[in-house]
A and B are shown apart, each in its own frame.
Chain A
Amino acid sequence: MTPQIEFSGVNKYYGAYHALKNVELSIKKGSFTALVGPSGCGKSTLLRSLAGLESISSGTLKIAGDVMNKVPPRKRDVAMVFQSYALYPHMTVEENLTYSLRIRGTPKAEARKAAEEVAATTGLSHLLGRYPRELSGGQRQRVAMSRAIIRHPKAFLFDEPLSNLDAALRVHMRKEIRALHDRLGATSVYVTHDQIEAMTMADHVVVMRAGVIEQQGRPLDLYDRPVNKFVAGFIGSPAMNFLPAVGSEDGRSLVVDVGAPQTVPISTNVEPGRKVIAGIRPEHISVVAADSGLMRVAVSVVESTGSMSYITTATRPELAIVETGRTDVSAGDLIGLSFAPQSVHVFDAGTEERIG
């Protein structure tokens, strides 16, 4: 089956600035793909070149099998939801929804009917006569989504659509967008800087940095086997702990330096003396009595939210530990840390690539 969207060898230059570097990405029909990365990583540029708002400097972009490199946005049959929603302020909600249909010459009655149908599914029926300025943030967001779905496009493009909403609404809209995607059987590409959004919503997560796709795959695969230190640190919250370490004599353990050298077992082979970085997720560390466990550390800060306890150690570099529920550990205590050898990720100290 041909992929719905396909980037092959795509580069984008702004003058001398290389914004997209040899991007290879193929998106299946009906999938929900999230492009995620820090600001300036090129994820928005990638989305905008998919929409046709930016041209690509080299490579091929195909939508539904057709080369789109030189095709203007209006002929690409994609719909986009902008960060600012970009609702037309001088048009009512209904006019906003039917704008694309009216341009294509859809008869008035038909356009109206389509708007009513879409509005019914997104809960906007009672707002069709209003102007965007009279709506709340969440309602505007829904109008922007409805304007996209009214056309049944080949792909939906989302450019950080939730970043202007408050936290509670964001969590709610996350589910709503995903449910809508499933109901429509649509192909969606979703740009976000929030890895939680990417992890929770997408089938396929693409992590980008400085114009390069660092890793792509299913969300939990990225979580379980990050290919380098950047992806490891970017996916997961709170972020993974990184500790400088060297391979020990037996090749099956690392000597970790957190102030005092401590030996921890790992599940891969590392040559003795090789300089590496050990990564351990905060949620994979458990607190045990000070005289047992793999490491012995002092506690510097304990933060409790009731459901979770966040412990920070007094080591250098400091370690973050997440315990479910409550903890009786308090600042200044000496505690033992324990974790499974499989949960230690090992990266080369120089290239930061994964080992094993």
Chain B
Amino acid sequence: MSDTYREKLMLAIALVLAAIYLFPLYWMYITALKSGSAMFATPPAFWPTDPQWQIYGQVWESRNMGRYIWNSVVIALGAVTVITVLGVGCAYVLARYRNVWVDIGLFLILMLQVLPASLMITPIFVGFSQVGLLEYPRLAVILAIAAKSMPFFVVLVRATFMSVPQELEEAALVDGNSRIGAFFSIVLPLARNGILVSAILIFMQAFGEFVYSKSIIQAIELQPASVGLNSFMGPNTNEWNNIMAYATIYVTPILAIFVLLQRRIVSGLTSGALK
């Protein structure tokens, strides 16, 4: 088998796999634009003949999506802030000190990462209700998400810190800076990319978070878009085009961020690993 033939075959396989993987996304976009009858036509149309653009405005209004999206943004931003402020310090310490306790700490952190949200929600719910945190449901969700995603952030950012040579910090110390000063003026700027990328990943995770929000937030006016989407769907739902329009409005900004930043995200993720 010649090399070019082999390459073409590989490319074809990759394209087929990508098509399968992306098909639901494609289906979401075109279903949103279909009219009620076109949606249930057999055979289904793969391209909407009569795109219903006004559906976005309608869904936005009728479902009060502005409020849901706002709640999602509040929760995601809150979680990212908590995680970044606490996680950066944690990751730095884990990157700079090497001993048995640090290894144990890292192992525990990775263990936390393994536990699924649906398992954690019950103890979290009970705990939060006892300390009265459920009175502030969005804050409660922010804390729960922070706890859930912190390990992921710490592990990524630790790798970034490890790629900053310790000699730079020592040079700053000898140059007259304190340990904290050296951290802020030398280490942090050099680790900025890795931290930003990790924070964006956390934001995207938190923006789509469902389990904690669904369980903790009862009041509709405080629910994020993921829960709003869920309550849109009932057992007898037939307004798939509206649901898909909702989903489109919800995920497109995230997708756009990812596509715009994907090169940086990928290089940020591997920068620590390739040293």
Interface residues of A (CB under 8 A from B): 51-53, 72-74, 76, 78-80, 82-84, 86, 88-90, 99-100, 103-104, 147, 151, 157
A189 nearest CB across to chain B (Å): 13
Q: Closest Cβ of chain B: how far from A136's Cβ, in Å?
A: 19
What are 12 contact pairs spanning A and B, CB under 8 A? A51-B174, A53-B170, A53-B173, A72-B178, A73-B173, A74-B174, A74-B177, A78-B174, A80-B170, A80-B171, A82-B167, A88-B171
- Given A84-B165, A86-B168, A88-B168, A99:B175 Cβ within 8 A: yes
- In the complex formed, the residue of B with least CB distance to A153 is B174
Closest residue of B by beta carbon distance from A80 = B174
Q: Are B174 and A73 in contact (CB under 8 A)?
A: yes
Question: Taking the nearest CB of chain A, how far is it from the CB of B195, in angstroms?
Answer: 14
- Give bound CA distance, A90 to B165, whole Å: 13
Secondary structure type dominating chain A contacts: loop
B189 beta carbon closer than 8 Å to chain A: yes
Q: Nearest-CB distance from A78 to chain B (Å)? A: 7
B165, B174, B177, B190 pick with most chain A CB within 10 angstroms: B174
Known pairs A80-B174, A88-B186 / 18 extra A-B pairs, C-beta < 8 Å:
A53-B170, A53-B174, A72-B173, A73-B174, A74-B173, A74-B176, A74-B177, A80-B170, A83-B167, A84-B167, A86-B170, A88-B168, A88-B172, A89-B168, A99-B172, A100-B176, A103-B176, A103-B177
Complex Cα–Cα for A300 and B190 (A): 57
Q: How many A-B residue pairs have CB under 8 A?
A: 57
Interface of B is mostly: helix
User: Do A147 and B173 form a contact, CB below 8 Å, given A84-B167, A89-B190?
Assistant: no
CB distance from B127 to the nearest CB of A (A): 41
User: Which residues of B145-204 have CB atoms within 8 Å of chain A's CB atoms?
Assistant: 165, 167-168, 170-178, 181, 186, 189-190
* A341 shortest CB reach to chain B, Å: 50
Q: Which residue of B lies closest to A100 (CB)?
A: B175
Q: Which of B173, B176, B189 contacts A104 (CB 8 A)?
A: B176
* Chain B residues engaging chain A, CB cutoff 8 angstroms: 165, 167-168, 170-178, 181, 186, 189-190
State the CA gap A89–B165 with chains docked (Å): 11
By a CB distance below 8 angstroms, the chain B residues around A89 are: 168, 190
B220 CB → nearest A CB, Å? 47
Complex contacts, A103 vs chain B, CB 8 Å: 175-177, 181
**Distance of A89 Cα from B189 Cα, bound (Å):** 10
Closest 5 CB pairs of A and B: A86-B171, A100-B175, A86-B167, A73-B173, A74-B176
Nearest Cβ distance between residue A315 and chain B, in whole angstroms? 47
Residue contact A90 to B167, C-beta cutoff 8 Å: no
Q: Is the CB of A82 within 8 A of B173?
A: no
Cα distance, A73 to B176, chains bound together (Å): 7
Cα–Cα, bound, A157→B174 (Å): 10
Residues of A within 8 A of B171 (CB): 80, 82, 86, 88
Chain A residues with CB below 8 A from B168, complex form: 86, 88-89
CB closest residue in chain A, given B192: A90
B173 contact set on A, CB distance < 8 A: 52-53, 72-74
Contacts of B178 in A (CB 8 A): 72, 74
Residue of B nearest to A79 (CB): B174
Inside 8 A of A147's CB, which chain B residues have their CB?
175
Q: State the Cβ distance, B272 to closest chain A Cβ, in Å.
A: 16
- Smallest distance from the beta carbon of B25 to chain A beta carbons, Å? 38
The interface residues of chain A lying within 8 Å CB-to-CB of B189 are 90
A73, B181: Cα distance in complex, Å: 13
In angstroms, Cα B189 to Cα A51, docked, is 25
Which single residue of chain A is at the shortest CB-CB distance from B167? A86
- Residues of chain A lying within 8 A (CB to CB) of residue B172: 88, 99
Residues on the B chain within 8 Å of A76, using CB = 174
B contact residues around A79 at 8 Å (CB): 174-175
Give the docked Cα–Cα distance between A89 and B171 (Å).
Answer: 12
Distance (Å) between the CB of A152 and the closest chain B CB? 13
Alpha-carbon distance A73/B171, docked complex (angstroms): 10
Q: How far is the CA of A118 from the CA of B252 in the complex (A)?
A: 55
**Bound Cα distance A151, B171 (Å):** 14
B177 neighbours in A (Cβ, 8 Å): 74, 103
Bound together, the chains give a CA A52 to CA B189 distance in angstroms of: 24
Hey, which chain B residues are within 8 Å of A157, CB to CB? 174
Give the docked Cα–Cα distance between A86 and B173 (Å).
12
**Chain B residue at minimum C-beta to C-beta distance from A159:** B167
CB neighbours (8 Å) of A74 from chain B are 173-178
Chain A nearest Cβ from B3, distance in angstroms: 36
- The CA of A104 and the CA of B172, in the complex, are separated in Å by 12
Least distance between A15 CB and chain B CB atoms (Å): 11
CB distance from B150 to the nearest CB of A (A): 27
| Pair B176/A90 contact, Cβ less than 8 Å | no
For residue B177, which residue of chain A has the nearest CB?
Answer: A103
Closest CB-CB distance, B101 to chain A, in whole Å? 15
